[in-house]
Amino acid sequence: MTRLPLTTLSILAALAFFAADAPAQGRAGVSSRSYRGHASDRDIENFVAEYRRTVGSRLDDCQTCHRGGAFTETRGGRTVTKNPCDYCHLIQHPATGYAEPMPADFRATLNAYGLAYLDAGRSQRAVRAIARLDSDGDGAANGAEIAALRYPGDPASRPGQAVPALRTFTMAELRALPAVTDFLLVNASRQTTDFYASYRGVRLRDLLVAAGVDPDAPGFTGVTVIAPDGYLKDIGAREINTAFPPAPFFGGLDSAALGPDCGYVTYPRPLPAGVTDGAPIAGESWLLLAYERDGGPMDVAALDPVTGRIRGEGPFRVVVPQSTPSAPDRGSGAPPTTCRAGRAYDATADHNADPMVRGVIAIRVNPLPAGHEDFDHRNGGWAYVENGSVVVYGFGVRAR
């Protein structure tokens, strides 16, 4: 159910783990977008066919059956928490530098409710059979939690809990905050071309301060950026509070210089003043919540009905510079090339396009206050895109 890229048949086969062996009876009309483009939607069809009120709600989503996980860094001993999307991605893209092993298979990514559903037979009948169980042990039966639109596999989610304080920022309010411009390479792992762009917006650190958060507080661990299709991306406190290292500019890699069959980098025209091939790009680069690209608004994010992926960037996109500056490279699926300045795909390069979430609708400040329920961004998430607003909630946020 997590939103993984469909790059190879092997990934498709791996994701088929959570495909049901028979379609749901009486399809209820699945509306969640976080798992669109995966191998199958049949499991969530089973769920929403049994609980029709959940269509389009927070439960019409990966997190109903999948869990996150915590890891301890081998250097420094810092605890890093992965949300369900990032945790599931570790199967295909294992991380290093942690004391704990990565999840070995998709069963390891299931929460208590997901395991109960799987063991009951992965069907609409299985959903019905486990309704009276209390899978997560929080004192509320699965059916009662689902009726209250609470997660039946998460003991921290149960009926009657308060949601944390939140702040909604409009485009005008974001533009009133101190503006920063990052000119940077956006290095994609899958797309055939990389690109340079000037993004303008507010530093994520400054946005948190505007929401009442102290990003230097000992308890602050970072944020989770939320897209309108339910995709989640964690960003740590260190990345938010520290400028990124200067990066060199690599010019002459476009079609104009290498020819239409060999160019693999696009550049804005004109380039910013003072940008020189091989020289470091001047100025500091920070994590931004951007609202402009190359001097104008970004294309508004929309869901491609065929691929299930987001096209467009705006009105807000998180911009992540490279932590380890590296040269542009071709996409992972690009065929071998004999072109001049070929630079084949480099798996060790910092592909900073991957964490640059498109169409940001909400930013959860971690950790959530104890005893509070997570904000239900699933209901009406696309309305934030249409209205040009973003929600900030969680640790240290002060309501207006």
Give me 347's structure tokens: 């798996």
Q: Taking the chain, what is the end-to-end CA distance rounded to the nearest angstrom?
A: 36
**Strands, sheet with 222-226, edge to edge from the N-terminal-most edge strand:** 166-170, 389-394, 362-366, 222-226, 232-236
Q: Band of the pLDDT at 40, cuts 50, 70, 90?
A: low
Alpha carbon distance 161, 213 (integer Å)? 22
Give mean pLDDT, residues 149-167.
89
Residue 335: C-alpha distances to residues 10, 261, 316, 331 (Å): 18, 12, 33, 9
SS3 state at 115: helix
Q: Which of 249, 261, 246, 277 is nearest to 193 (CA)?
A: 261
pLDDT number for residue 1: 38
Q: Supply the mean pLDDT for the chain.
A: 85
339-357 pLDDT tens trace: 876 678 888 899 999 899 9
Alpha carbon distance 165, 398 (integer Å)? 6
Beta strands in the chain (DSSP E): 69-72, 79-82, 166-170, 180-186, 194-203, 222-226, 232-236, 265-266, 288-293, 296-297, 302-303, 310-311, 317-319, 362-366, 389-394
DSSP class of residue 17 equals G
Q: Is the pLDDT of residue 388 over 50?
A: yes
Q: Band of the pLDDT at 83, cuts 50, 70, 90?
A: confident
pLDDT number for residue 378: 60
Percent of the chain, pLDDT > 70?
A: 87
**Torsion angle of alpha carbons 364, 309, 14, 117, nearest 10°?**
60
Please give the domain boundaries of the chain with CATH numbers for all domains. Answer: 9-147 (no CATH), 167-394 (3.90.420)
Give me 316's structure tokens: 């807000």
Q: Band of the pLDDT at 3, cuts 50, 70, 90?
A: very low
273-330 pLDDT tens trace: 999 999 999 999 999 999 999 999 999 998 776 666 788 999 999 999 999 999 999 8
Give mean pLDDT, residues 24-47.
56
Greatest Cα pair distance in the chain: 66
Q: What is the pTM of this model?
A: 0.70
SS3 state at 395: coil
Residue 346 CB: number of other CB atoms within 10 A? 16
Alpha carbon distance 54, 48 (integer Å)? 6
pLDDT number for residue 68: 86
pLDDT number for residue 190: 83
Residues 6+ apart with CB under 8 A from 269: none
